[in-house]
Structure formats: C-alpha cells, structure tokens
Amino acid sequence: MLTPGDPARLEAVIGVTAPVLQSGMGGVAGPELVAAVSNAGGLGILAALNLRPDAVRSAISKVRQLTERPFGVNIWLHDDVRTPPDVMEHSDLVRSVQSVLNELRPRFDLPATLEAPRPMPDLVDAALEVMIEERIPVFSAGLGIPEPELVDRFHEAGTRVVTMVATEADATSAVAQGSDVVIAQGLEAGGHRSHGRKLPAAEAVGTGTFTLIPQVVEAIDDRVPVVAAGGIVDGRGLAAATMLGAAGVLMGTRFVATTESQASQLWKDRLISGRGTTVLTDGFTGQWARVLRSEFTSHWAEHGGMPLPGLLQAAARADLQRAAVAADDDQMQPLYAGAGFDLLHDLPGAGDVVNSVVEEARQLLGR
C-alpha cells in the first residue's frame, strides 16, 4: 500500500527544510541560483559537467560564500562521457553528420566542413576528485549510477549521494549500490534522459512521471526517499507527487526561468511565452534530450539518422551553436524544456519559487 511521501525523510538525509531540489543544469545553475534555492531551504545543485577541476573548485567555493545551507554538485556518469569515445574511430559517421549540419550552416554564413570535431576532454573523474576533496554536502549523479566504490568514497567524505534514474530497474540498482536518495525522472523532464548509456529511440522515451513515481516507491520498498522529477513546475505538482509517495520534487525548467538562472533572456522568454511544444532529440548533443521543437529538431528528425557518440555531436555542432547564440536565434540552439513549460508565466526569484511551491502544496494537502 502506498502512503504519501514524507518530506521529513528528505530533511533527515540531505538537510533540506523545503522538499524542493533544483537540478544541476549546465550553463544555467551557477552559484547564485544554487545559493538562492539553498537559502530558501531547498537544495540548490551546481552543474559540473564539462567544467575543468579548478572551475568546479571555484564554483563550490563561491556557493560556500553565498550560503551556509546544504547544496549539491551534479555530474553525468554516462559511459561515453566518463570515458569519451575516440573521434578517429567514427570517421564515416563524422562525414554523414557534418553533411546534415552543412545544410544548416549557410543560415549563419558558416563554411561547410567534413572535419572531425575536436576530441572531448576527459573531465568527469577529475571533477569527482574535487567534489570528494571539498567534502561537498550532496553529490548528484545523472545519466548513470554511481558504483559502490564511488559511493563509499563520498560517504567517507561525509557526502550524501542522490542519483537520478528513469526506470524502476535503475532505481533498484542505485539503492543496491548505496545511493541515499533516488530521483525518479519521468518522460516529461526537460534536458537529457537519465540513462547511463545511449538507448534506442523507442526505449529512451521512458515512463510518465506520475506512473514512474509509485513504481519506484514500491520497487525500493521505503529503503531511501524518492524524489519526483519531470514536468513539475508548481505546488500542484509537489502535492500530487507527495500523494504518490515522493518525499519531494526536483525541478529543472521552472528554475531556468528565474532571475538567478544563467540562461539567456531568449530562452527564458520562450519558456514563459507558452509558444511551441517539446520534443525528444539526439541531434544537439548525441544523447536524448527534451527541448523546445525548432527548425533544427525538425531538420534532424527528417535528415539526421545516427548522431556521433558521447558528446561528440555537440562538438561537431560547436560553430553552429556559437553562431546561433550570437545571433539570438531560437531555432538552431537547444532550448531545453520540460513538458510543463507552458504553465510558466513569470520570471520570479528562485527563493520565491521554493516558497510558493511549498506553500501551495501545503494548502492543497491541508498540512
């Protein structure tokens, strides 16, 4: 029998007084956003993907200057990101991907190319070492499950481990391997699907948030708190997730559209405009992600085929990305968004988001 989730369980494990986690998000979740969420009693989470070790360390130190509350640091543990693939082994794929991208380059007067992208640096393990040395309060893993040795090292450093999964089976593995909290990511989630390896399209789609939460709650049988993620933007979402057995929620898209987020004004404006719809694509980075549908996503769906592995697809597209950002072009860059984006109508401070989500849920649940 399912019982409503208890936010006190989350407080006991990760020290939050509000059961609201803000997702680590590259290019969005810097120290100001993280501190604003943590200062409001939630858990702000820094994004460390693609950061060099000194940048991870200085971001952690900046957060510590801005808050004394617990915070987290997130990184992907995806097989092909932790050990980046060798681009030289994919020369045929490079040519086919670049040919498709060449059809888009004239939009920004960029020259056509069939060149291989620069190899991706190997940064994940170095970032993990910094997190362990810094004895961060919470380690947040996405796109892969931390192995028991890594979990043990974090635990020895006094760090709690929070792991995001998109299937019941991965939730069970994460708990068996020592994670202290499981985040159940439903298909509505903005950004990348939380799988540790690339899945075929049909499997990558996943399970809806409100189907997945009770499945995960039952599968892990109360051993650790479960947090719900995907399409949740307000107190109604927190209340509903609580009734399904979640001890709290993790939100990404809602926090993209806040004053402290480092997202561009273009992205924030699109999120609160209500215009458009979201799709899953692997054309931007090589991994499946939910974004606002655009001319790029339609072009890739029609002509794209297989992308480059790991994050090499993002590297192959780097010139297009730079040009799209410089031109404020919303059709050729990934505007990550969860399916709940069209419920967003404002750009509040992140602390106000935490307070209003908790207050609305409290009223709905009569607590």
Ligand X SMILES: Cc1cc2nc3c(=O)[nH]c(=O)nc-3n(C[C@H](O)[C@H](O)[C@H](O)COP(=O)(O)O)c2cc1C
- Closest separation between CB of residue 92 and ligand X, Å? 30
What whole-number distance in Å separates Cα of residue 198 and Cα of residue 326?
31
Q: Which is nearer to ligand X, 5 or 190 (CB)?
A: 190
| Biggest alpha carbon–alpha carbon distance for the chain | 61
Closest by Cα among 96, 45, 48, 88 to 70: 45
CB of 63 to ligand X, least distance (A): 16
Write the binding mask 340 to 359 for ligand X: x where contact by CB under 6 A, - elsewhere: x-------------------
Tell me whether residue 127 or residue 217 sits nearer to ligand X (CB atom).
127
CB of 256 to ligand X, least distance (A): 5
Considering only residues 143 to 162 of the shown chain, the ones binding ligand X according to CB under 6 A are none
Residue numbers 12-31 binding ligand X by CB under 6 A: 23-26, 28
Closer CB to ligand X, 26 or 85, in the complex:
26
Using the rule CB under 6 A, is 49 a contact of ligand X?
yes
Span from 79-87, 118-126, 154-162, 332-340 in contact with ligand X (CB under 6 A): 332-340
Binding status of residue 239 toward ligand X by CB under 6 A? no
Residue with smaller CB distance to ligand X, 94 or 237: 237
Q: What is the 3-state secondary structure (H, E, C) of the chain?
A: CCCCCCHHHHHHHHCCCCCEEECCCCCCCCHHHHHHHHHCCCEEEEECCCCCHHHHHHHHHHHHHHCCCCEEEEEECCHHHHCCCCHHHHHHHHHHHHHHHHCCHHHHCCCCCCCCCCCCCCCHHHHHHHHHHCCCCEEEEECCCCCHHHHHHHHHCCCEEEEEECCHHHHHHHHHCCCCEEEEECCCCCEECCCCCCCCHHHHCCCCHHHHHHHHHHHHCCCCCEEEECCCCCHHHHHHHHHCCCCEEEECHHHHCCCCCCCCHHHHHHHHHCCCCEEEECCCCCCCEEEECCHHHHHHHHHCCCCCCCCHHHHHCHHHHHHHHHCCCCCCCCCECCCCHHHCCCCCCHHHHHHHHHHHHHHHHCC
Q: How far is the CB of 73 from ligand X (least distance, A)?
A: 10
Q: Which of residues 288-317 bind ligand X (CB under 6 A)?
A: none
Residues of this chain, 51-80, that bind ligand X according to CB under 6 A: 74, 76
Nearer to ligand X, 114 or 325 (CB): 325
* Smallest gap from residue 96 Cβ to ligand X (A): 27
Rounded to a whole number of angstroms, the minimum distance from the CB of residue 23 to ligand X is 3
Residue 81 binds ligand X (CB under 6 A):
no
In the set 34, 204, 220, 251, which binds ligand X (CB under 6 A)?
Answer: 251
When the beta carbons of 94 and 251 are compared against ligand X, the nearer one is 251
Binding segment for ligand X (CB under 6 A), chosen from 199-207, 227-235, 268-276, 311-319, is 227-235
The residues binding ligand X (CB under 6 A) are 23-26, 28, 47, 49, 74, 76, 142, 164, 185, 188-192, 229-232, 250-254, 256, 336, 338, 340
